[in-house]
Structure 1
Amino acid sequence: MSMPQPERLHLDSDAATGYPNSPLPVLVYRQVLDISNAEERADAFESMFKRHGWPPAWRYHLYDFDHFHSTAHEALGIFRGQARARLGGPNGQELMLYPGDVLVLPAGVGHASLEADDDFCMVGAYPPDQKPEIERGDPAQLAAAKARVAAVALPEDSPAGGSLAELWREDS
């Protein structure tokens, strides 16, 4: 099975709200898995993430408040329901998430659910030795958050497969 090329979303730092975001693009893979059963889809996401070096950490929904992780990159595999999400913090960009989609969020990228089905659920994963802290934008702490983001190691592989270094080229 060949992996579709992801959409790339570039989100600038937002000094007004204190969201660092990242010079690396968010990767949005659409319809990665074409499995009709939600639990089987969740299991398949967990297997795929683990196979590519991103151990699955949880199954849960997307928080309804803007937050980011300055200490970890994050993979999200949508296995049930759909949601309208915002990336980049309070002034960010909206997108729809559907079953089978995968998001790869570089450290520092704000994210929140604006509206979701009652049964919306995702698999979350992080590279080994990266522990996400839930942070909210603080303009007074933006420089420190950006420094933490810049220090997060880049994994070799995308959680959906392929070279992450190629997908996260800053000129892409």
Structure 2
Amino acid sequence: MQNKNVETLNFEESGSIPNNPDLPVLFYQGAFKDNPEQAERIFNDNNWRNSWQGGVFDYHHFHSNTHEVLGVVSGSAKLIVGGESGKTIEVNPGDVIVLPAGTGHKRLSSTEDFQVAGAYPDGKDHNLKTDENNGRTQLLIEIKEIEVPSQDPVHGENGPLLSLWKKDE
């Protein structure tokens, strides 16, 4: 599904990766294509903080206690999102992926200069979950309790995340 140049991707559980049962992954292709190095500043301006720059781990992992945004600053990569049975996505400078809590992600390959800026709503500290530290029932409860952010990391108060991430009450 596309909405304002945002692709939504829904995933079921995949092995040890719970994914998010309520919220889709959002893929903003080329959101910052003219100025990819501004991704971190814009995330921070939109209250996605506790930011960092670096790579993406080369193993499946997820965060059960917060959502995460990744903006490609340089280079390109193939990422798999949603666990082993997920979807492979090619990302390039300016692309942004918003991962709802519980969504698996892994770098399959990348150029040597691949770098992303990452951040979390309200500057939340993230945990790191893999198949080795996965208590399924408690994780699913935790994932479902994470609130929808007050702002879209790319477009702020008027962004598509606010309409695309409506939880069923």
Q: 2:92 & 2:77 partners in 1: Cα distance?
A: 7
Deviates more, 1:74-83 or 1:148-157: 148-157
Is the 8 Å Cα contact of residues 4 and 30 (structure 1) preserved in structure 2? no
Q: 1:140 & 1:34 partners in 2: Cα distance?
A: 36
Aligned amino acid, residue 169 of structure 1:
K
Is the 8 Å Cα contact of residues 44 and 51 (structure 2) preserved in structure 1? no
Q: For the aligned residues, what is the CA RMSD?
A: 2.0
Q: Which residue of 2 aligns with 1:135?
A: 129
Q: Which residue of 2 aligns with 1:66?
A: 60
1:163, distance to aligned residue in structure 2 (A): 5.0
Is the 8 Å Cα contact of residues 33 and 95 (structure 2) preserved in structure 1? no
Q: Which residue of 1 aligns with 2:40?
A: 46
Identical residues among aligned pairs (%): 32
Q: Which residue of 2 aligns with 1:167?
A: 164
Count, aligned residues = 162
1:56, distance to aligned residue in structure 2 (A): 5.0
- Summarize deviations over 1:27-67 as a string: whole Å, max 9, x none: 000111233xxxx632x112211121111511001110000
Runs of at least 4 residues off by over 4 Å: none
Match of 2:18 among 20, 25, 28: 20
Q: 1:153 & 1:50 partners in 2: Cα distance?
A: 18
Q: 1:6 & 1:56 partners in 2: Cα distance?
A: 24
TM-score by length of 1: 0.86
Q: Which residue of 1 aligns with 2:76?
A: 82
Q: 1:131 & 1:80 partners in 2: Cα distance?
A: 25
5+ long unaligned stretches in structure 1: none
TM-score by length of 2: 0.88
Q: Which residue of 2 aligns with 1:119?
A: 113
